[in-house]
Amino acid sequence: MSTAHSIRLRAFSASVFACFSACVSFGCGTSAAPAPSGSGGQLASGGDGGSTLAASGSAGVFETGGADATGGAGGLASSAGGAGGPAAGGGSGGARGVAGSSGAGGNSAGGNSAAGGGNVGGASTSGEPPPLTGTVVAGTVKVTRATTLAQLAPGFAGFSFEKTHLTDGFFTADHAALIAMFKLLGPGIVRIGADDVNISVWTPSATFVKVGTTSPNIGTAEVDALADFLKATGWKAIYAVNMRGNSTPQTAVTEVSYVIPKLGASLLGIEIGNELNLYGLSNVETVWHSYAAAIHGAYPTAVVAGPGAYLDINFATPFIKGEAGQLGLVTHHYYRAAAGTGATLANLLSTDPAVVSQSQTLANSVRSNGIAGGYRWGEMNSYSSHGQAGVSDVLASALWGINVMLTTAQYGSVGVNFHGGGQNMDGNVCPTDAASCNRPFRYSPILEIDSRVSAAAPLYYGMLLVSQIGTGSMLATTASAGNVNFKAYTVSPTDGSTRVVLVNSDASSSVNASVDIGAAVASAGAVYLRGPSLTSLTGVTLAQAAVTPAGVWDSKPPYTLAHAGNVITVPLPPASAVLVSAN
């Protein structure tokens, strides 16, 4: 969202999918840092097979299990064999998610990590789960396996950036930290456009500008660099073209005539303009249609995305109906509110009925109009005008992010693109350095200084947790814990496991949850997203590990959870979320 609008409320390769942490795959003793191109992973000592993946050039083949462990896990068999007898040499998951066999005495099959997210191989032991503090409230969660709500799509957690960010060398094949941050999430969708698309000019001879600055001029060098970046990450792009100012349908066709062939399979779609409902044009749909028709005239199979309306569902639905013949993907934008007086922590964490109602309306619209690509929240974040200090940039934003992602997924969304940015873009004027910025991007999932990654923000950890779920059917789930702000979501992957996400947004109350997954539980493990408090800017971890500025995540094995019959006991401290995986 532009600062000029501050008053308004604001497939893929298996090798990259397997970049999810091996520890979150619940069957390994070491983290999955990227290995050099074409190489295999290193083995963990003590009996657990490592699963480091090739960064590029390989098919994502897992190495074999490590040495046998007496009384411990065999290879990737992650239920300890101690009580039942020593585990003897279970193999690790093989290439492309083929499960390794469990060792004798181990209780579960070896973990597999197929494309689409880390899959569960049984419960690992990592000590006792985090202690419950403050007031402890009993919680209940009930999963109805017979009721499927929707599918959790691959690459659900994505990013959105200003188009001018192409000009400062941010999206390049040598920006190792940014590539690593993207790859931790697995293959996804990055949207390039936003408000700065409205000032962008296709200038084929344009060159990169100084780091920390930007230019409206986009040329072949910037698109070439984006293509290399996308190949390095395994991501796809939604690429926007301008339809304001001196732009014409022909200037758009000239630009995409370079972009479409250059990005190739890394291009998901072409977006025209940004937030059309704010253009103030009575004939905005007619103008948009002229651009879409011109692009399809030159490239008949190109996917055109839109309308990217800001909040106004009453603008979006008739537009979708009228342009169904041009649209291949519907995009819509959401912010909880505008930054300012009402942008409070309590407001962010409270339920916004618009998330559900607009998701339902968009789902019905794409279905009734036959939009093949479905609908995606092409730009989203907490508070518009780059966020609210102490709200958009703290642990609470990660919990909000998990809730909003999984809520929209339940109503058929194919993904969410959280917006972010850096210096000297979208009205964020920075005369000297990052410290001098007048409108910093407080809500950015990835923080940056001088066009280079400086840290993973709390919101990034929420995206990382959701990315670990993988894909699967979202099952009807109910949750209650007295007056505690407590929510639950369930995904059933194709491997037969069950993933349950619990979110406790209360600042001081813990929840001791009894989770009935509707099927017998043989093993259960959990990884937690935590931080010192809801208002913590730093100190956030997932699976007991932070993401370093270099994009390294040394995640730890999951905690083992107590279970009996269909019920898992899940302790959930204040201000935390947990991903439970059960077999």
Confidence band, pLDDT 50/70/90 cuts, at residue 125: low
The answer, yes or no, to whether residue 1 has pLDDT greater than 80, is no
CA distances from 120 to 355, 468, 497 (A): 31, 10, 7
- Beta strand residue intervals within 374-456, DSSP E: 375-384, 416-420, 446-449, 452-456
Reading phi first (left if > 0) and then psi (alpha if -120 to 50, else beta), residue 506 is in beta
The answer, yes or no, to whether residue 48 has pLDDT greater than 60, is no
The answer, yes or no, to whether residue 533 has pLDDT greater than 60, is yes
Q: Which residue has the tokens 């000239």?
A: 254
Q: Cite the DSSP H helix spans in 107-219.
A: 176-184
Query: DSSP secondary structure string, 308-368?
Result: EEES-HHHHHHHHHHTTTTEEEEEEEEEEEESSTT--HHHHHS--HHHHHHHHHHHHHHHH
| Integer Cα distance of 212 and 432 in angstroms | 9
Confidence band, pLDDT 50/70/90 cuts, at residue 52: very low
| Integer Cα distance of 20 and 347 in angstroms | 32
Confidence band, pLDDT 50/70/90 cuts, at residue 126: low
Tens-digit pLDDT profile for residues 64-100: 333 333 333 333 233 333 333 333 333 333 333 333 3
- The pTM of this model reads 0.81
Q: Which residues have C-beta within 8 Å of that of residue 324, sequence separation ≥ 6? A: 369, 370, 371
The confidence score (pLDDT) of residue 399 equals 98
Reading phi first (left if > 0) and then psi (alpha if -120 to 50, else beta), residue 415 is in left
CA distances from 49 to 44, 90, 560 (A): 6, 9, 19
Tens-digit pLDDT profile for residues 364-410: 999 999 999 999 999 999 999 999 999 999 999 999 999 999 999 99
Per the CB < 8 A criterion, the answer to whether 581 and 498 are in contact is: yes
The confidence score (pLDDT) of residue 82 equals 33
CA distances from 18 to 24, 53, 126 (A): 11, 7, 22
Which residue(s) pair with 380 in the sheet? Answer: 334, 418
Where along the chain do its domains lie? 11-125, 135-150+471-582, 154-469
- The kind and range of the H/E element at 463 are helix 458-469
Cis peptide before 445 (omega within 30 of 0): no
Q: What are phi and psi of 432, to 5 degrees?
A: -120, -55
- The dihedral through the CA atoms of 90, 93, 94, 97 has a sign that is positive
Q: What are phi and psi of 367, to 5 degrees?
A: -70, -50
Q: Which homologous superfamily does the CATH classification assign to the domain defined by 135-150+471-582? A: Golgi alpha-mannosidase II (2.60.40.1180)
Q: What is the mean pLDDT of residues 287-306?
A: 98
Q: Which residues have C-beta within 8 Å of that of residue 164, sequence separation ≥ 6? A: 196, 199, 200, 214, 215, 216, 425, 426
| Integer Cα distance of 539 and 530 in angstroms | 8
More confident call, 167 vs 19 = 167
* 154-469 placed in CATH 3.20.20.80: yes
The confidence score (pLDDT) of residue 127 equals 78
Asked if the domains at 135-150+471-582 and 154-469 fall in one CATH topology, the answer is no
